[in-house]
Chain A
Amino acid sequence: MKYLTILIAILIMAIFGCAQKAVKMTPAEQKQAEAVQAGKYPPEGGERLKEGGVSEEELAARERMKGMSGLSNLEAAGKSVLLDVLFEFDSYTIKPEFFPKLDEMATALKNQRNINVVVEGNCDERGTIEYNLALGQKRAEAVKSYLVKIGVDSTRIRTVSFGKEVPVDPGHTEESWAKNRRAHIKIDQKG
């Protein structure tokens, strides 16, 4: 019985692994994928496993599936963002509230070695163009250096700064600006 379960799991991974950029996820699906990554729900399509009386092999398979299915779902979706780390004005210091999410991402990356990420540094519209190009780079570098510090291979993380050229929110309020001061982390299609 347990071998059948593992076989089904491998089949599912194979199917999702082959699906390329064509699939676009709805917000609901994306939410579920993120939840799966966080280990909250059972992997999509998989059988709900009982907690008690489970062998080590099964446990290992389950762990792999949790980490892999979440990221492989995102890979299938192509351009989904993994995380936005936000910053204070003129700062490239990572705020404490983002460390748990970065830790989670590092774990997921260590479990699935064929995925690389790109960190895009951005700024709000204030300040000078040139300085913001550099500041965006420092924001991306701050995220990269933390991930490297906790064990992710640095060759798997690219950094790109866009300065204030591509804000996610076109508004001119404090709220808009806060959203734009971000290191935008996504799966590296070129990686």
Chain B
Amino acid sequence: MKRFKLTQALLFAMALVLFTTPGHARVYYDITATSFKKVTIGVPPFKGEAADRLRSDTTDLLNKDLDLSGFFITTPQSLMDKELTDEGVEKASIKFGNWRSIGIELLCKARLQEKDGDLAIEAYLYDTLDGSLMLAKRYRTRTDEWRRAVHRLADDIMLAVTGEKGINSSRVVFVSGTRNRKDIYISDIDGTNTKSLTNFRSITLSPSVSPNGRYLAYTSYKEGKPNLFVMDLDQHKEVYADRDEGMKTGTAWTGKATLLYTHTAGRYSTIYSLDVEKKERKVIQRNEGISASPSFSPEGTKMVFVSDMHGSPQIYLKDLVSGNTNRLTFSGTYNSAPVFSPKGDTIAFVARFEGAFEICLMNADGSNQRVLTSGGLNDSPQFSPCGRYIIYSSNKGGKQNIYVMLFNGENKRLLKFTEGEESQPKFVP
């Protein structure tokens, strides 16, 4: 009698194991992200005919921009003695050996010329190893737009050294506010020129801007329930609204002005693509339960999204050509907010990991899943247009703030735009 029961128990246990083990290889989180070597750059105080304040502001801003880029180690002013900072800007007057001896690999010197509200910045970038000139450029601007000129210089240094421009001239849309009052804002990434795009005295969420830069999508409770709107930014007027019952959130775009949004109501979740200009809406997918956060690959042939179709929120990849859907995440009980890199090779997402909600990265086929952040409640990862950076929100320190980091998790930097709780950031194309 006892042996029969034992056999039954064993058979039952076997059945359990057989039916609950997923059919794919298990993927594990790899916490150690691949690193690359940063370059040490020296930016001594800019010279030339301009107010002291302007010269120090431009020098400081360039250092800040290079630090934000994640590819450079900037040199503190205290490390550069008078002999170094008194040098001229042209190659002939530079003793590269002195710069090398304090560990500086690249040297950026600039001369300002300010007159009658116009500013010119003459900038040179040298490799201290052999004194070769990597960049020589003049930037002209109105004096009161000096920040813009410095950002362009920083982006050009990035281009010369890494082959791609940086994000210093970027703009960001995001949500800011307090519990019952949230609006959409746009800002330069350096925290200046911040202005609100909505002012509805309500809760307005989930902003995103179309690739052609013309439209802003958002979900707002201004009419008493969450409705989805698309606004023409040039004319500042709404050109589309979905007021159906249920939750509508649009989070991503494809092509020039095609919005992807989900509608959750009744038993189903529907993912739509909406060509805003042609006013054409198509159903991409409809399923029972929850589906959210759709994001297309850059060529528009694949879609990632989160769904609870297997019980808990997990990330799925749908081939839009064949219609096949594959599950990408198998670790843990909460994987959400997926977004495709503009390079198409990786997907950023949020995973519940050791009690926290972390920004993670995986290859587009679901392999090599790794954690990029370290603790707290992190959310809403989005790539920069170049694909090298991820912007996201985090509640570290007790308040919701926006951060930017390299795609491998390095060089996390706090961005500050307003006094409110900031969330759901996206780069403006």
Please list the residues of chain A having a beta carbon within 8 angstroms of any beta carbon in chain B.
Answer: 90, 125-131, 133-138, 141, 145, 158-163, 165-166, 190
Contact = CB atoms under 8 A, between A and B. Distances in A.
A90 B308 CA distance: 10
B35 interface: no
B265 A160 contact: no
Contacts of B251: 130
Interface residues of B, number: 43
Contacts of A126: 352, 357, 377
Contact of A137 (B182, B264, B357): B264
Which of A126, A128, A138, A165 has the largest number of chain B CB atoms within 10 A?
A: A128
Given A125-B377, A137-B265, A159-B245, A130 B290 contact: no
A165 B249 contact: no
B357 A127 contact: yes
A47 B266 CA distance: 45
B337 A133 contact: no
A133 B249 contact: yes
A133 B334 CA distance: 15
A166 B290 contact: no
8 contacts: A127-B313, A127-B352, A129-B206, A131-B292, A137-B264, A141-B265, A160-B226, A161-B264
Q: For chain B, what secondary structure do more than half of its interface residues adopt (helix, strand, loop), or is it mixed?
A: strand
A129 B424 contact: yes
Contact of B380 (A125, A129, A165): A129
A190 B224 contact: yes
Nearest to B269: A134
Nearest to B182: A165
Given A90-B313, A138-B264, A160-B226, A133 B179 contact: no
Given A128-B379, A131-B313, A166-B180, 9 more contacts: A130-B206, A130-B337, A134-B264, A134-B290, A137-B247, A138-B290, A145-B266, A160-B226, A162-B221
Interface in B249-295: 249, 251, 262, 264-267, 269, 289-293
Contacts of B225: 158, 160
A141 B266 contact: yes
Contacts of B333: 90
Contacts of B352: 126-127
A133 B247 contact: yes
A134 B262 contact: yes
Contacts of A133: 205-206, 219, 226, 247, 249, 264, 292
A158 B245 contact: yes
A167 B331 CA distance: 29
Contact of B306 (A131, A163, A165): A131
Contacts of A158: 225, 245
B249 A90 contact: no
B264 A131 contact: no
A124 to B, nearest CB: 11
B394 interface: no
B268 to A, nearest CB: 10
Which of A138, A163, A165 has the largest number of chain B CB atoms within 10 A?
A: A138
Given A134-B264, A137-B264, A129 B379 contact: yes
A64 to B, nearest CB: 32
B50 to A, nearest CB: 45
Contact of B350 (A128, A141, A165): A128
Top 6 A-B pairs ranked by shortest CB distance?
A137-B247, A128-B337, A137-B264, A134-B264, A128-B336, A131-B336
A161 B377 contact: no
B333 to A, nearest CB: 7
Interface string B84-111: 0000000000000000000000000000
Interface string B321-341: 000000000000110110000
A136 B357 contact: no
A163 to B, nearest CB: 8
A129 B224 contact: no
B179 A165 contact: yes
Contacts of A165: 179, 182, 203, 205
A127 B264 contact: no
B261 to A, nearest CB: 11
A44 B180 CA distance: 37
B246 interface: yes
Which of A90, A125, A133, A190 has the largest number of chain B CB atoms within 10 A?
A: A133
B312 interface: yes
Contacts of A141: 246, 265-267
A158 B224 CA distance: 12
Interface in B302-329: 306, 308, 312-313
Nearest to A167: B179
A99 B224 CA distance: 28
A131 B293 contact: yes
Nearest to A190: B224
B5 to A, nearest CB: 32
